């Protein structure tokens, strides 16, 4: 494609994504479906440039003020992530001079906001919690691309064997540092046509999500519920840890998400999973299981701010108001899910948020209101201790090279 035609397409996609009315990955996929003629390299330039715009949006918008022409084109030029010579051949002499001048600006002289690229409502609590030095390390880590992690389905394969199969397909993968089932893949190779994937020997899953199963620690033959199962990333890991025995309920209010679980379930070889759509957290189907379950996981709907490396649009699509709404849902879901746990059973509450408001605050409130649930310190359930903070699993991209992740664990006494 002619360089300027591609740059114009990038600008169009930037404009679409910056409407912020849908998740960026959905907007990008829809755009690719409308432009089927684009090759893999063109798609990569488009997607990576759009994500670069989202990651450092405040910086680019500041620099773009001095340029000319439509704003989405200026943003696309500044954040361009394809071939440099290709970009330059698309630019007018005026644009070339402006790009060079923009790049020559010493970024360390810019206002903090233009360097961390986080909205104030998010930067303020993170800075207060982490302190200056660590806050800046987090801000830098959030603007890097996330690694691609796989979870080996131990019902079907061993980690070393999968690693060897991937190597035979020219894909380098190393065991993840903390999860015993994880492999971290080099780069972003297409995996979905490989035998290891189609046979159900692996699923894509961030290492942090894999660690959650160690906190839930489901055993053979138990009755377990994954209360917010979605497309079942955690369900599959829990079902495998139960060695395909017992009964694992996969609840969710979204039938559409549970539908996405079906093909994954078929590949996995699991037959102990019972997906069920519920109307809300107080659904009759839930009430019937009251006090009967050994383990319940609440992977709560949350702001997703721990996944900013993958979903940088979330920092612009969430707000203090949306976080307050999510907190209300989190409280209600945790309270209902807790009723399913039998005496002696275990309850786990998890989010992929960085904010105390969705994490420690919800967990402490629950403990205070439910004295029959005794907190179990995460440090006693998972190693090494540096994965935990204040009795909770607390993962950070800059400390642990994983998505931001939180989990609290309780045991029901009576």
Ligand X SMILES: C[S@@+](CC[C@H](N)C(=O)[O-])C[C@H]1O[C@@H](n2cnc3c(N)ncnc32)[C@H](O)[C@@H]1O
Instruction: Based on the shown chain and the rule CB under 6 A, indicate whether residue 200 belongs to the binding site for ligand X.
Output: no
Instruction: Based on the shown chain and the rule CB under 6 A, indicate whether residue 218 belongs to the binding site for ligand X.
Output: no
User: 299: annotated binding-site residue?
Assistant: yes
Give the Å distances, CA to CA, from 332 to 26, 292, 366, 391. Answer: 29, 20, 10, 22
The single residue among 55, 73, 159, 234 that binds ligand X, judged by CB under 6 A, is 234
The CA distance from 239 to 246, in Å, is 9
Instruction: Based on the shown chain and the rule CB under 6 A, indicate whether residue 196 belongs to the binding site for ligand X.
Output: no
The single residue among 157, 253, 276, 376 that binds ligand X, judged by CB under 6 A, is 253
> Would you say 352 and 307 are in contact if contact means Cβ atoms under 8 Å apart?
yes
> Would you say 121 and 320 are in contact if contact means Cβ atoms under 8 Å apart?
yes
Length of the chain, please? 414
The reply to whether 352 belongs to the active site is: yes
Instruction: Based on the shown chain and the rule CB under 6 A, indicate whether residue 406 belongs to the binding site for ligand X.
Output: no
Q: Give the binding-site size for ligand X (rule: CB under 6 A).
A: 21
Per the DSSP assignment, residues forming a β-bridge with 299 are: 350
Query: Would you state the structure tokens that stand for residue 234, as one six-digit string?
Result: 């955690």
Instruction: Please provide residue 253's backbone torsions phi and psi, each rounded to the nearest 5 degrees.
Output: -80, -15
The single residue among 103, 158, 280, 285 that binds ligand X, judged by CB under 6 A, is 280
Instruction: Based on the shown chain and the rule CB under 6 A, indicate whether residue 254 belongs to the binding site for ligand X.
Output: yes
The CA distance from 54 to 143, in Å, is 9
Instruction: Based on the shown chain and the rule CB under 6 A, indicate whether residue 331 belongs to the binding site for ligand X.
Output: no
Q: Are strands 392-395 and 388-389 parallel, antiparallel or unpaired?
A: antiparallel
Instruction: Based on the shown chain and the rule CB under 6 A, indicate whether residue 74 belongs to the binding site for ligand X.
Output: no
Instruction: Based on the shown chain and the rule CB under 6 A, indicate whether residue 230 belongs to the binding site for ligand X.
Output: yes
Instruction: Based on the shown chain and the rule CB under 6 A, indicate whether residue 333 belongs to the binding site for ligand X.
Output: yes
User: 149: annotated binding-site residue?
Assistant: no
The single residue among 156, 257, 398, 399 that binds ligand X, judged by CB under 6 A, is 257
Helix (H) or strand (E) holding 377: none
CB of 266 to ligand X, least distance (A): 16
What is the gyration radius of the CA atoms in the chain, in angstroms? Answer: 23
Mind telling me the catalytic residues? 352
* Residues contributing to the annotated binding site for S-adenosyl-L-methionine: 252, 299
Interface residues toward ligand X, by CB under 6 A: 209, 227-234, 251-254, 257, 278, 280-281, 299, 301, 329, 333
């Amino acid at each position: 494609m002619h360089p300027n035609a591609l740059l114009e397409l990038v600008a169009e996609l930037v404009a679409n994504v910056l409407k912020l009315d849908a998740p960026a990955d959905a907007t990008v996929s829809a755009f690719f479906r409308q432009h089927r003629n684009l090759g893999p390299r063109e798609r990569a330039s488009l997607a990576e440039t759009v994500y670069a715009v989202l990651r450092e949006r405040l910086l680019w918008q500041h620099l773009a003020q001095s340029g000319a022409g439509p704003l989405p084109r200026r943003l696309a030029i500044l954040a361009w992530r394809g071939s440099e010579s290709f970009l330059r051949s698309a630019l007018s002499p005026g644009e070339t001079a402006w790009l060079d001048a923009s790049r020559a600006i010493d970024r360390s002289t810019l206002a903090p906001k233009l360097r961390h690229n986080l909205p104030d409502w998010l930067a303020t609590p993170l800075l207060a919690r982490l302190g200056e030095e660590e806050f800046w390390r987090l801000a830098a880590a959030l603007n890097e691309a996330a690694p691609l992690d796989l979870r080996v389905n131990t019902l079907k394969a061993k980690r070393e064997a999968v690693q060897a199969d991937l190597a035979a397909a020219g894909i380098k993968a190393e065991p993840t540092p903390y999860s015993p089932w994880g492999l971290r893949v080099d780069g972003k190779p297409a995996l979905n046509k490989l035998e290891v994937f189609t046979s159900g020997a692996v699923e894509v899953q961030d290492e942090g999500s894999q660690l959650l199963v160690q906190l839930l620690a489901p055993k053979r033959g138990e009755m377990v519920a994954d209360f917010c199962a979605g497309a079942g990333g955690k369900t599959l890991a829990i079902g495998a840890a139960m060695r395909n025995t017992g009964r694992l309920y996969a609840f969710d209010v979204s039938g559409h998400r549970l539908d996405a679980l079906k093909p994954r379930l078929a590949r996995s070889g699991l037959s102990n999973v019972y997906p069920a759509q519920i109307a809300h957290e107080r659904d009759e189907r839930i009430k019937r299981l009251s006090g009967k379950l050994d383990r319940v996981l609440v992977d709560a709907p949350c702001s997703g701010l721990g996944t900013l490396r993958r979903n940088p649009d979330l920092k612009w699509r969430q707000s203090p108001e949306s976080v307050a709404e999510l907190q209300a849902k989190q409280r209600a879901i945790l309270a209902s899910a807790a009723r399913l746990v039998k005496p002696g059973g275990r309850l786990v509450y998890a989010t992929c948020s960085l904010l105390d408001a969705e994490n420690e605050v919800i967990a402490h409130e629950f403990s205070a209101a439910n004295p029959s649930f005794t907190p179990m310190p995460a440090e006693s359930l998972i190693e090494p201790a540096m994965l935990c903070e204040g009795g909770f699993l607390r993962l950070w991209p800059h400390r642990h090279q994983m998505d931001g992740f939180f989990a609290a664990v309780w045991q029901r006494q009576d």
